[in-house]
Amino acid sequence: MEEKVWLLIEKHTDDKNLRSEKDNIEPGWDWSKAELKDWNLSGLNLSSNENRANFSGAHVKGAYFIDAQVEGANFSGAYVEGAYFIDAQVEGADFSGAQVEGADFYRAQAEGANFSSAQVEGANFSGAQVEGADFYRAQAEGANFSSAQVGGADFESADLTNVNLSYSFLEKTRFDEDTQLTGVRFLNADLKHSYLRRAYSHIDEIVIEEAEGKFENAIEVYLSLKNYFRDEGMYEVSGRYYYREMLMKRKTAWKMINSFKWDKEKKFKSLKECCGNVIGWFVSKMMDLLTGYGEKPVRVVGWWIGLISMFGAIYHLFKGIMNHPYAFAYKPSLLESMYFSVVSFTTLGFGDFRPKPGIFQVVASAEAFLGALFIALFIFVFTRKMIR
């Protein structure tokens, strides 16, 4: 810290306000290790790209840099917790290794700023310009980047647990396999052309909006993630988010059913709305149970096994098949009953066994119909996944 800075601090020890010294302070001074906790430096021209101020090791916790000029300033190793950089010019400033927890960079111009290895937990960057900023290995749990311009920023190996990226623009933003993304909010974030795919294994399969019961918001998040990973050619990951998207639509329909209120003046409209939600929920539930919304063909195979076993048990317990046109008293074994169930379900019909006249002919016909339906369903689901 140079002498003129020390003299200013001595002069304003009581009011902790340097705004009156605006005409006397020049950019590029050495403020290193200065004690400026809760001081007001708002609106001051402290640094420029030609004359960079040095705040390394300074204590500026809770200090006000609102609308200040601190481009290229050196805050490395400084204590910046809770400081206010609202609307400040912070382009290219160096906060590497600094304590920046809870600092407010709302609408700040912070393009190219360096926050590598910094403690940025709970910091607010909403509405800020942080294109090309470096957050490599930063601890940024709970930070807020909502509506921020984050294009080209580096989040490789950063801890972004519970970070808010809602409405942010992430074009060319860098992530890697060590970036922690648990609990991140992606509502209406622009993910196109980002490198989020590299950190896909750390993204929640069940996003925070769903966990909070905000199903409508969760639909938007899952839709965005589904489209992003589809465009990146990661169809299996995209399919997982498509499944969650459809599940949220069903939960939304159920929520509407539970909150439905009868409108006495608009009876037909109320009845139509109620029935529409009930039918939509039922169809969605059946699609989930049968195929996992087309993403889980193994469920169809499970239905095959279940139906074949059920019909086979019926034929065995109630002696519903025979091996001769007039062998009405024939008692089929369990193996024979299962065999007949398989050939009926697959519509092979070898003719060595047949259903006994009456109700069992209806049962066998129903099984053949279900078999044809489920085989076609499996082919459709399997083909859909393979051609993506």
- The pLDDT of residue 268 is 53
- The pLDDT of residue 266 is 54
201 CA to centre of own chain: 12
User: How far apart are the two ends of the chain, measured CA to CA in Å?
Assistant: 63
**Residue 368, C-beta contacts closer than 8 angstroms, at least 6 positions apart:** 344, 345, 347
Average pLDDT over residues 74-96: 97
Query: Which tokens is 138 given?
Result: 């930063």
Q: Which phi and psi angles does 357 have, rounded to 5°?
A: -55, 150
Average pLDDT, the chain: 93
Read off the pTM. Answer: 0.85
Query: Which tokens is 61 given?
Result: 């916790």
Average pLDDT over residues 278-293: 92
Residue 162 has pLDDT above 60, yes or no: yes
Average pLDDT over residues 213-225: 96
> Cα–Cα distances in Å, from 74 out to 26, 47, 58, 101, 135?
15, 9, 10, 17, 16
- The pLDDT of residue 179 is 97
- Residue 274 binned pLDDT confidence (cut-offs 50, 70, 90): confident
| Coil vs helix vs strand at 43 | coil
Spans of all domains in the chain? 297-386
For tokens 């940025």, the residue is 120
Half-sphere exposure of 163 (CA within 13 A, CB side): 28
Contact in structure between 137 and 115 (CB atoms under 8 Å): no
Return d(Cα 141, Cα 316) in angstroms, integer: 62
**Residue 35: beta bridge partners?**
59
Contact in structure between 364 and 343 (CB atoms under 8 Å): no
Residue 269 has pLDDT above 60, yes or no: no
User: Angle at the Cα of 31 (from 27 to 32), degrees rounded to 5?
Assistant: 135
Q: Give tens-digit pLDDT for 337-387.
A: 999 999 999 988 888 899 999 999 999 999 999 999 999 999 988 888 777
Q: Where are the beta strands (DSSP E) in the chain?
A: 45-47, 69-70, 321-322, 354-355
- The pLDDT of residue 256 is 83
Return d(Cα 102, Cα 156) in angstroms, integer: 21
Which pairing describes strands 354-355 and 45-47: parallel, antiparallel, or unpaired? unpaired
Q: What percent of the chain has a predicted confidence (pLDDT) above 90? A: 83
Return d(Cα 103, Cα 89) in angstroms, integer: 15
Other beta carbons within 10 angstroms of residue 215's beta carbon come to 18
Query: Which tokens is 227 given?
Result: 């489209």
Which pairing describes strands 321-322 and 354-355: parallel, antiparallel, or unpaired? antiparallel
Residue 99 has pLDDT above 70, yes or no: yes
Q: Which of 106, 62, 115, 102 is nearest to 87 (CA)?
A: 106
Can you say whether residue 353 is alpha, beta or left, with left for phi > 0 and alpha for psi between -120 and 50 degrees?
A: beta
Q: Which phi and psi angles does 185 have, rounded to 5°?
A: -95, 120
Average pLDDT over residues 21-49: 94
**Is CATH 1.10.287.70 the right assignment for the domain spanning 297-386?**
yes
Return d(Cα 102, Cα 119) in angstroms, integer: 9
- The pLDDT of residue 364 is 95
278 burial level (CB within 10 Å; 0-12, 13-18, 19+): middle
Q: Give tens-digit pLDDT for 27-38.
A: 999 999 999 999
Return d(Cα 270, Cα 242) in angstroms, integer: 30
- The pLDDT of residue 255 is 87
